[in-house]
Amino acid sequence: MENTIRSLQQEITDFEITTHADLEAFRLKYTVRKGLIAALFGQLKTVAPADKPRIGQLLNQLKLTADNRIDEEEAKLAANAGDSAKRIDLTLPGRRYFTGSEHPVQKVLGEMKQIFSAMGFGIATGPELELDRYNFDLLNFPPDHPARDMQDTFFVTTGNPDTDLLLRTHTSPVQVRVMLDHEPPIRVICPGKVYRNEAISARSYCVFHQLEGLYIDKKVTFADLKATIYSFARQMFGTDVKLRFRPSFFPFTEPSAEVDVTCYLCGGKGCRVCKKSGWLEIMGCGMVHPNVLRNCGIDPETWSGYAFGMGVDRTVLLRYKIDDIRLLFENDLRMLRQFPA
């Protein structure tokens, strides 16, 4: 037994350890619970009582040598790993950090907001998942109006007129919310995303952006509406744009109009974008229908108001000469990096 211990002592001291795998092999051979050293401790009971103290001491010594060896080699391996981490390759090119920048839609929306803020409009927002009532009923849509048709609206729940949810098809429900929550006078714009279940193409997408405006006060007239739209259009599209108000229909305004500006790409001469007409349609507008005011707790005998609503994405496409609306929603970095901060 004594000889075995002595030869093991030598083996343990000479065992070659250069890698983590060597160290693990060492541990498995000698120091684990089923290793050689433990086996020798097991044999201690067969040793003659007189020799036990001496053999025991030799065994303890052997165990200590093995444990120390493990500690030392672990430390060496760790130090080597540190070495390679410290080796820096100064010839490597530097890392490039990309800074984010404003999305073109946000740029245009930002300009629009600024123009209206300067005219005294506050900004209101509301949920994109909206109550059916706010999107349609309170806005004076008759129950069988075609806009409620499945083809236009992404309905989320149906069956209970009071709690049914849908993805808002326009930002007008935000105006309902503002009217329900605030006493007139009211002067807000409502920018945001809207959803329509339309065929997806280069010109139309299932999501797009609108900016609507609402002004309610005493004695508000169509002349106020026209002046506001004129002022906005000149700041947004250039001082020499001309405007055209065409009679139109919306359930929530009466009278209603659609507004065209002279095509700011060809100056009104007629081009591919304005389809040779010289005009571009920019928004719908009108005087808020008395039913809508009543639905929202505002007395139409005392108060009157106007509302307008425009799509934002078309202006973005024209402004930056982007020919496919889908590019605005796909977040392709190759496209977004063309709009640095």
Residues 37 and 58: their CA atoms lie apart, in Å, by 11
The CA distances from residue 285 to 116, 167, 171, 187, in Å, are 15, 22, 13, 15
Number of residues that bind ligand PHE (CB under 6 A): 11
The CA angle 81-82-87, to the nearest 5 degrees, is 100
How would you classify the pairing of strands 186-195 and 122-123? parallel
Q: Judged by CB under 6 A, does residue 285 bind ligand PHE?
A: yes
- Window of 25-33, 43-51, 111-119, 280-288 that interacts with ligand PHE by CB under 6 A: 280-288
Contact 184, 173 (CB under 8 A): no
> Which of helix, strand or coil describes residue 55?
helix
Give residue 326's region: left, alpha or beta (phi > 0; psi -120 to 50).
alpha
Structure tokens at 287: 């005087």
Q: Should residue 172 be labelled a site residue for ligand PHE when binding is judged by CB under 6 A?
A: yes
Position among 69, 148, 170, 196 found at the interface with ligand PHE (CB under 6 A)? 170
286 binds ligand PHE (CB under 6 A): yes
Interface pick for ligand PHE out of 116, 308, 317, 328 (rule CB under 6 A): 308
- The CB-of-340 to ligand PHE minimum distance in angstroms stands at 32
Judged by CB under 6 A, the stretch of 78-86, 100-108, 281-289, 291-299 that binds ligand PHE is 281-289
Instruction: Please tell me whether residue 274 binds ligand PHE under the rule CB under 6 A.
Output: no
Shortest CB 297 distance to ligand PHE, Å: 19
CB of 309 to ligand PHE, least distance (A): 3
Which of 9-17, 25-33, 273-281, 282-290 is the region at the interface with ligand PHE (rule: CB under 6 A)?
Answer: 282-290
Contact at 8 Å (CB) between 212 and 109?
no
307 binds ligand PHE, rule: CB under 6 A:
yes
116 in helix, strand or coil?
A: helix
Give the footprint of ligand PHE on residues 107-166 (CB under 6 A). Answer: none
Per CB under 6 A, contacts with ligand PHE among 195-254 are 212, 250, 253
Smallest CA-to-CA distance from 208 within 322, 60, 316, 57 is with 316
Helices (H) and strands (E) in the chain, counts: 11, 9
Q: Which of 334, 333, 287, 108 is nearest to 209 (CA)?
A: 108
Nearer to ligand PHE, 8 or 307 (CB): 307
Rounded Cα gap, residues 274 and 261, in angstroms: 10
Task: Say if residues 40 and 63 touch (Cβ distance below 8 Å).
Answer: no
Among 309, 313, 315, 328, binds ligand PHE (CB under 6 A): 309
Determine, following the binding rule CB under 6 A, whether residue 268 of this chain makes contact with ligand PHE: no
Residue facing ligand PHE at closest CB distance: 309
177 contributes a contact to ligand PHE by CB under 6 A: no
Closer Cβ to ligand PHE, 285 or 325, answer by number: 285
Q: Which segment (74-82, 155-163, 259-267, 304-312) binds ligand PHE by CB under 6 A?
A: 304-312
315 binds ligand PHE (CB under 6 A): no
Nearer to ligand PHE, 23 or 189 (CB): 189
CB of 318 to ligand PHE, least distance (A): 19
Per DSSP, helices labelled H in the chain are: 2-14, 20-26, 36-43, 52-86, 104-118, 132-135, 172-181, 222-237, 290-295, 313-319, 333-336
Q: How far is the CB of 163 from ligand PHE (least distance, A)?
A: 23
By CB under 6 A, is residue 184 in contact with ligand PHE?
no
Q: Which tokens in the block code for residue 29?
A: 């051979």
Residues that bind ligand PHE (CB under 6 A): 170, 172, 212, 250, 253, 284-286, 307-309
